[in-house]
Amino acid sequence: MGKNIIVFDIETKNSFLDVGGRENFTKLEISVLGSYDYRTAEFKVYEEKELSEFAQRLQQKPLLVGFNSRRFDVPILQKYIPFGLQALPQLDIMEEFVKILGHRVSLESVATATLGKGKSGSGLEAIAYWREGRLEELKKYCLDDVKITKEIYEFGAIQKELFYTSKFGRGKARVDIGWRIENPNERDNNVPVQGSLF
């Protein structure tokens, strides 16, 4: 059995404009949720009507790995989950960048600089897929983001560094990473797992 870790990402049916601005983002509704489960070594997409199945998996207290997940994905997902998600261990890769840099970076910036490849589309395109009934394209886009996030997570754990495109100049900049691929509830000998960037 693999480690109790899930890398995930959500797509929404609507935009900030539809719900009266970014401050009302928790009013957004999920169209699909993509995940990679280290226990089964499988990628999976859940439609909104299938989120109760994902909730059952979350009862096993996996480490949730995402990008901007604490402030976006998790608060929106919470509406669909009958218990508090904040109790689950979480690693938000963007939040780790913010801790050291003092500003946000995009998934595109980190993916391009670290992996040499970018996202396959944008969140607005994902909303358009939903509205146009292009469900298979939506699912593929969501899983593409999950795959990129997983690769970044693993790259950081193995190489102990990640890169991003600097806002203040050309080229890419480097940050040190202090995490491992491990759920903190399963750590051995009290070795710190989710260290931040330093």
Report the distance separating Cα 192 and Cα 198, nearest Å. Answer: 14
Mean pLDDT along residues 182-188: 82
- The CATH number of the structural domain formed by 5-186 is 3.30.420.10
Give pLDDT tens digits for 9-49: 999 999 878 777 787 888 899 999 999 999 999 999 999 99
- Of residues 6 and 103, the one with the higher pLDDT is 6
pTM of the model: 0.90
Give pLDDT tens digits for 111-129: 999 999 988 777 788 999 9
Q: Which two tokens stand for residue 174?
A: 């480097």
Closest CA to 49 of 26, 62, 33: 33
Instruction: Please report, in angstroms and rounded to a whole number, the separation of the first and last CA atoms in the chain.
Output: 32
Closest CA to 193 of 164, 163, 153: 153
- Of residues 11 and 1, the one with the higher pLDDT is 11
